Chain A
Amino acid sequence: MSLYIDIFITFFKIGLIGFGGGYAIIPIIESQVNLHQWLDVKQLTDIIAIAAMAPGPIAANSATVIGFKLAGIPGAAIACAGITLPSLLVILILGKLFIKYQEHALVKAIFYGLRATIIGTIVYAAIKFAASNGIIGGSNLIDIKSTLLVLVSFVLLVKTKINPVYLIIAAGFIGILIF
């Protein structure tokens, strides 16, 4: 029972602070999962791969898989509810107020600074995930094959409108061929 409560509170907290949606929430999930010692970064990377292959929000999907891994289907439901409910509460309570004050200088100043730190956390997460998966900083300093895969994927994601699902599937086949 206490694990369920722990899962709920942890993901509720993540949901509450998850400004920016999508991959902006990954660094927060990483820090909380690490804090609870639920998973290592490599396991979390695989979970994000599953989350990214399914339709729907990457953060809620990741929460669902983490909950599933920790405590089966009830854990998955609790994690998914935990990360989604803050959205509902914040929108119901602050929605109308926000639309009224979105042009207010104070609101703009808050998001001006918040966006900068959020992007900082995502960059940090990318570095940490690369290091924890042995792509950089391992015994060879840089793993050539993995690093090439990172760079090619990055360029494709930034320069083309490639669907990440296809990229993940293609990388899976490349992985079978070269690793």
Chain B
Amino acid sequence: MENVNEREIDFKLLSELFFTFFKLSPISFGGGFAMIPVLEAEIVYKKKWIEGKQIVDTFVLAQSAPGAIATNSAIFVGYQVAGIPGAIAAMLGMVIPTFIIVIILASLFVFFQTNHYVLAALNGIRPVIVALIASAAYKMSKTSLIDKTCWIICLICVAVLLLCPNINIIVVILSGAFIGITIMKVKKMFSNSVKTE
């Protein structure tokens, strides 16, 4: 994958990237993780754009970089296939279909939001949204809260946010990075084995 940026811009390849993700995007219900097997089948086995080993790296990066896993995967696949123009083509292919669908749904909502039945339906739907958020936390905790220290950091974080409603949430999130580094250093002082995964 050397010199990807020095290749001449191949518009045929770019449009293929765009339309591949354009086609995959509307079926990406349920978020990033549901997307992974579909992406792998299309990109690795059908298009043979990148190898199995690279797709693993792609998904690791997609989960670690900020933003949606599906979009991040598309961007990095596009980059590996056709450099920066490829990244942009893949990103647009991924974003445009869902953008249009969301706009249509939002317009319908604006039109019907004062309807008696819609209001009642929303009363039923709001608890599901709370459950969706809570279940996201639960599912992430299974893989990410790997020891007691993690649980303590997480609980302190919840307590701080509840007790200080005006605290800047970005500062709270980023403090996790500093806590992680500090804990690693402290653990290093007491033992040679550092377990962070």
Residues of chain B lying within 8 A (CB to CB) of residue A90: 65-67
A51 within 8 Å of B by Cβ? yes
Of the listed stretches B10-18, B44-52, B55-63, name the one at the interface; the rest are far from the partner chain. B55-63
- Measured CB to CB, the nearest residue on chain B to A130 is B130
**Shortest CB distance B197–A (Å):** 6
**Shortest CB distance B75–A (Å):** 5
- Which interface residue of A21, A60, A105 has the most chain B CB atoms within 10 A? A21
Q: Residue A91 contacts which of B70, B87, B139, B140 (CB distance < 8 angstroms)?
A: B87
Contact B137 A126 (CB under 8 A): yes
- Measured CB to CB, the nearest residue on chain B to A51 is B102
Chain B window 62-83, contacts with chain A (Cβ cutoff 8 Å), 1 for yes, 0 for no: 0111111111100110010000
Contact A115 B173 (CB under 8 A): no
B133 within 8 Å of A by Cβ? yes
**Shortest CB distance A37–B (Å):** 13
Q: How far is the CA of A11 from the CA of B76 in the complex (A)?
A: 21
B189 within 8 Å of A by Cβ? no
Contact A108 B196 (CB under 8 A): yes
Check A28/B170 contact, CB under 8 A, given A77-B99, A119-B154: yes
Q: Residue B135 contacts which of A87, A115, A147, A158 (CB distance < 8 angstroms)?
A: A158
Give the interface SS of chain B, mostly helix, strand, loop or mixed.
helix
Residues of chain B lying within 8 A (CB to CB) of residue A64: 99, 102-103, 106
Residues of chain B lying within 8 A (CB to CB) of residue A86: 66-67
**Shortest CB distance B150–A (Å):** 4
Contact B133 A23 (CB under 8 A): yes
A138 within 8 Å of B by Cβ? no
Residues of chain A lying within 8 A (CB to CB) of residue B117: 176
Contact A57 B70 (CB under 8 A): yes
Q: How far is the CA of A17 from the CA of B158 in the complex (A)?
A: 18
- Which interface residue of B122, B129, B170 has the most chain A CB atoms within 10 A? B129
Question: 9 closest pairs, A vs B, by CB?
Answer: A175-B124, A113-B180, A120-B157, A56-B98, A117-B176, A57-B68, A87-B67, A23-B136, A153-B131
Q: A interface vs B, CB < 8 Å?
A: 13, 15-24, 26-28, 31, 42, 45-46, 48-61, 64-65, 68-69, 73, 76-77, 80, 83-84, 86-88, 90-92, 94-95, 98-99, 102, 105-106, 108-127, 129-130, 133, 135, 146-147, 149-151, 153-154, 157-158, 163-165, 167-168, 171-176, 178-179
Q: What are some 13 contacts across the A-B interface (CB < 8 A)?
A: A16-B66, A23-B132, A28-B170, A46-B109, A55-B29, A61-B102, A120-B156, A124-B157, A130-B130, A150-B127, A168-B129, A171-B124, A175-B122
